[in-house]
């Protein structure tokens, strides 16, 4: 019996991808391979309506993201509107466009929290990944401004085989910058990251060393710094409950207004995603076929349906199943019970000793 046969519970979070424009070119960008252009972006009035509808639907948190959300001139207006609706507001930013004036405007608008991303602790490594000369200095300055303001700050490091031996220094930098929380998150292989998988996927020894560094830092910093750690799916044997289950806790509005159950859902062919330009969020959440498709357990193969963990991991990641097996309904192939687990094992065994050149994203104006 499907756990969501009736009206689903309200989503907890809205990811508002305000734009795909970004001054950085990270080769593991989680945005889709085909980016939305500036002229297709939702207008301010449309985003204000989306926020109204999200609050009415019961959403608790809105994450303003991108691309680089600070590329939108109306960001403070959107934050102010969301805060006025009682939504918890989080800004996910690279920090390279932040200065004292823009931070003050966001704080005055009611911004609750900032998640600031770093590509590395080593400036040369960071700028090689991000593709922006001087980017690390701008990020450090943004962190300094935020610490001086006192706004709650999480620092995020995306790690991979080319920087995961610096986890100890990354965590030390986050502590020094005054963050209350640091996320050490391995790249997940969707979108552009999949293009660069061989250049980014660590081997088992590298992963174990990074995990040990996180454990040691947790002991060292204790309650002074919360440390979140996300391991690469491929090295695991149990899938993660991606997005907390498809269509259960999360919705994502793209720059052009498409509503997705996850940020990578457009990689699944044949699916039609509704637009906020043509339908309300409640109708989309409760009855759009794209949200029903993998909600609950009815869609699962027998491998998942017979598993005691089916309502714990919700079958894992549909986009990963699509990418690795060509079938979005398949058991997530990272699962040891998956008939396609050998696909993942072959990828892990085939990681070259020497990382190939990275393929970079192009800027969008």
Asked whether residue 304 is marked as a ligand-binding residue, the answer is no
Asked whether residue 29 is marked as a ligand-binding residue, the answer is yes
Task: Tell me whether residue 55 or residue 265 sits nearer to ligand FES (CB atom).
Answer: 265
Spatial strand order in the sheet of 181-186: 226-230, 181-186, 153-159, 113-118, 88-93, 61-65, 13-17, 250-253, 259-260
Region from 63-71, 154-162, 311-319, 346-354 binding ligand FES, contact rule CB under 6 A: 311-319
Alpha carbon distances (Å) from 125 to 28, 63, 142, 243: 14, 27, 19, 30
Task: Tell me whether residue 50 or residue 243 sits nearer to ligand FES (CB atom).
Answer: 243
Residue 255 β-bridge partners: none
Q: Give the total of residues touching ligand FES (CB under 6 A).
A: 10
Binding to ligand FES, residues 315-344 (CB under 6 A): 317-319
Task: Tell me whether residue 47 or residue 246 sits nearer to ligand FES (CB atom).
Answer: 246
Binding to ligand FES, residues 241-300 (CB under 6 A): 242-243, 246, 262, 264-265
Closest contact distance (angstroms) between CB of 13 and ligand FES is 14
Task: Tell me whether residue 207 or residue 264 sits nearer to ligand FES (CB atom).
Answer: 264
Of 151, 88, 90, nearest in space to 115 by CA: 90
Of 2, 61, 66, nearest in space to 250 by CA: 61
Distance CA 152, CA 280 (A): 32
Alpha carbon distances (Å) from 144 to 98, 134, 140: 11, 16, 6
Residue 190 near residue 319, CB atoms below 8 Å: yes
> Any contact of residue 48 with ligand FES (CB under 6 A)?
no
> Any contact of residue 190 with ligand FES (CB under 6 A)?
yes
Q: Tell the residue number behind the tokens 């995020």, with chain if given.
A: 156
Asked whether residue 164 is marked as a ligand-binding residue, the answer is no
**Feature table: binding site:** 22, 26, 29
**Feature table: binding site for [4Fe-4S] cluster:** 22, 26, 29
- List interacting residues with ligand FES (CB under 6 A): 190, 242-243, 246, 262, 264-265, 317-319
């Amino acid at each position: 019996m499907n756990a969501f046969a009736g009206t689903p519970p309200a989503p907890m979070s809205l990811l508002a991808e305000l734009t795909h424009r970004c001054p950085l070119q990270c080769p593991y960008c989680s945005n889709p391979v085909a980016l939305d252009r500036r002229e297709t972006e939702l207008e301010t009035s449309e985003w204000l309506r989306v926020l109204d509808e999200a609050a009415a639907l019961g959403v608790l948190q809105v994450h303003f993201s991108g691309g680089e959300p600070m590329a939108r001139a109306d960001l403070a207006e959107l934050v102010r509107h969301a805060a006025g609706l009682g939504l918890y507001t989080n800004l996910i930013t690279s920090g390279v466009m932040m200065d004292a004036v823009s931070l003050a405007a966001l704080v005055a608008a009611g911004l609750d929290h900032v998640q600031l991303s770093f590509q590395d602790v080593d400036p040369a490594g960071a700028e090689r990944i991000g593709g922006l000369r001087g980017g690390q200095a701008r990020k450090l300055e943004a962190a300094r401004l935020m610490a001086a303001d006192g706004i709650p700050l999480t620092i995020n490091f995306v790690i991979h085989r080319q920087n995961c031996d610096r986890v100890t220094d990354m965590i030390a930098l986050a502590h020094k910058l005054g963050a209350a929380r640091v996320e050490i998150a391995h790249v997940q292989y969707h979108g552009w990251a999949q293009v660069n998988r061989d250049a980014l996927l660590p081997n088992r020894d590298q992963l174990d060393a990074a995990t040990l560094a996180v454990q040691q830092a947790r002991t060292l910093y204790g309650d002074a710094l919360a440390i979140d750690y996300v391991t690469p799916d491929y090295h695991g044997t149990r899938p993660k409950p991606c997005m907390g289950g498809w269509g259960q806790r999360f919705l994502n509005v793209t720059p052009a207004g498409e509503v997705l159950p996850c940020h990578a859902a457009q990689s699944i062919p044949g699916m039609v995603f509704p637009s906020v330009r043509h339908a309300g969020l409640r109708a989309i959440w409760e009855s759009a076929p794209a949200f029903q498709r993998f909600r609950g357990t009815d869609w699962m193969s027998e491998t998942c349906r017979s598993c005691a963990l089916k309502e714990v991991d919700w079958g894992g990641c549909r986009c990963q199943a699509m990418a690795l097996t060509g079938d979005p309904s398949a058991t997530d192939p990272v699962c040891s019970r998956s008939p396609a687990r050998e696909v993942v094992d072959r990828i892990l065994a085939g990681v070259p000793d020497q990382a190939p050149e990275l393929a970079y994203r192009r800027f969008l104006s």
